[in-house]
Structure 1
Amino acid sequence: MVDKEDDNAPTPSQHFADAAPKGSVIFISAPPGFKNAVWGGLMSARAKTLKVQGVVVDGRIRDLAEHRGMQIPVFAQGHSILSQGAFLRPSEIGVPATMSTCPVVVHPGDIIVGDLDGVVCIPRDQLEKVVVYCQKHTTIDNHCMEDILQGATVQDTFKKRRGV
């Protein structure tokens, strides 16, 4: 996304919701400081027909009830009733994009995983390493939970299981 008045940025030949590959996760980066939504219910309807797995917006969305009703996972920094077209316009599709809140660059083909706690982006070449790390630490936390539920203190459990 770029400022609507930016005449120098490229313009895609198709709508970005139509360009999503089947089974993909759509990532949209809006410039910081804009208060309008860049994704809405109509776009989620199109994404659902394309069998998109989810949408991550570095910016704002609208039509929350529609996304939930369609049961398509949509993650965003916030929401707004203002539409995209009033302030922003799409620019490039399928290119690396830097998150506005941190120096993470999302590349086409990266693995994006989200749940109620948030969203992470995993570079495809790091996936195996991340899976091993997650399995190890999930096992540790499961043991911590067992110990705590059996009456151990958090401090003792972390020292025993996490080494801290």
Structure 2
Amino acid sequence: MSGVIVTNPPKADAEDVRALAGYGVATVHEAMGRTGLLPGRLRPVQDGVRVAGTAVTVLSWPGDNLMIHAAVEQCGEGDILVVTTTSPSTDGMFGELFATALKRRGVRGLVIDAGVRDVAELRGMGFPAWAAAVSAQGTVKATGGSVNVPVAIGGQVVRPGDVILADDDGVVVVAREKARRTVAASEAREAKEAAARAAFLDGQLGLDRYGLRDNLAQLGVTWQAYDDHVRDGAGE
């Protein structure tokens, strides 16, 4: 497998990345019309952490972390390393030594559709990671791959310089040219949710606020008293 290391790709504006960091993954995903969400198998190794940054992408051979070493050189302040493999892998391709090098360069975290190890050390040093697996299985450094090319994770394309937002709910990607409009859409979504939260605290039901009673009626769902339900033979 040959490959390429692309240098200095375009990136989303830093102000837009900073603004997106103020919203949760669920909010941004909904604000983009329920798009951009990476697969749920990518789980955080820590709790209560949210990061946003620009993607440096890596396409590696399974069980081979050579291209992660190559990618470190391409990483800088505000980036998030995004790694996937040419076929499924759960090997522990990333650990504490990689995290040390990346943290020194100002990298904000890792998203890897494969395995990580040294989890206790990653937590202790405060380096956030989202991974498909945790495994002590070691890797080799023997096969070429690519850095800063578009990669696909669970059918979702991540390009170098796109915005990656990750928290306890998962990981979402925002195309770099859509970052600013996504900030505006996320702000509107959060304002809508704040109004709904206030209404629910005041006792309003979602059935009424969202007009869902009509939906239920159109679907043929009815209300029936328990005694009538039992008498009709549909109950206990």
Q: TM-score, normalised by structure 2?
A: 0.58
The equivalent of 2:148 in structure 1 is 94
Structure 1 consecutive aligned stretches of length 4 or more whose deviation exceeds 4 Å: none
Q: What SS does the corresponding residue of 1:84 show, helix, strand or coil? A: coil
Q: Percent identity?
A: 24
| 125-134 or 23-32, larger mean C-alpha shift | 23-32
**Is residue 25 from structure 1 mapped to residue 64 from structure 2 by the alignment?**
no
Question: Number of matched residues?
Answer: 152
Distance 1:90 1:119, change over 3 A: farther
| Aligned pairs (5 A) from 1:94-113 | 94-99=148-153, 101=154, 103-113=155-165
Deviation at 1:40, TM superposition (A): 1.1
The equivalent of 1:8 in structure 2 is none
Distance 1:4 1:120, change over 3 A: closer
Q: What SS does the corresponding residue of 2:173 show, helix, strand or coil? A: strand
C-alpha RMSD over aligned residues? 2.5
The amino acid of 2:81's aligned partner reads I
The equivalent of 1:69 in structure 2 is 124
Do the aligned partners of 2:61 and 2:143 also contact (CA within 8 Å) in 1?
Answer: yes
The equivalent of 2:19 in structure 1 is none
The equivalent of 1:46 in structure 2 is 101
- Larger relative contact order (CA 8 Å, sep ≥ 6): 2
Deviation at 1:89, TM superposition (A): 5.0
**Is residue 156 from structure 1 mapped to residue 208 from structure 2 by the alignment?**
yes
Of residues 181, 191, 205, the one that matches 1:139 is: 191
The amino acid of 2:150's aligned partner reads P
Q: Distance in 2 between matches of 1:146 and 1:89?
A: 55
- 1:50-80 Cα shifts (integer Å, max 9, x gaps): 1101111122211111111111221112211
The amino acid of 1:67's aligned partner reads L
Do the aligned partners of 1:32 and 1:59 also contact (CA within 8 Å) in 2?
Answer: no
Q: Distance in 2 between matches of 1:156 and 1:32?
A: 48
Q: What SS does the corresponding residue of 1:83 show, helix, strand or coil? A: coil
Unpaired stretches in structure 1, ≥5 consecutive residues = 6-10
- 1:35-55 Cα shifts (integer Å, max 9, x gaps): 312211111111111110111
Q: Distance in 1 between matches of 2:187 and 2:78?
A: 25
Distance 1:132 1:27, change over 3 A: same
Do the aligned partners of 1:16 and 1:90 also contact (CA within 8 Å) in 2?
Answer: no
Q: What SS does the corresponding residue of 2:140 show, helix, strand or coil? A: helix
The amino acid of 1:93's aligned partner reads V
Q: Distance in 2 between matches of 1:56 and 1:70?
A: 17
Unpaired stretches in structure 2, ≥5 consecutive residues = 1-59, 213-236
Q: Distance in 2 between matches of 1:49 and 1:112?
A: 20
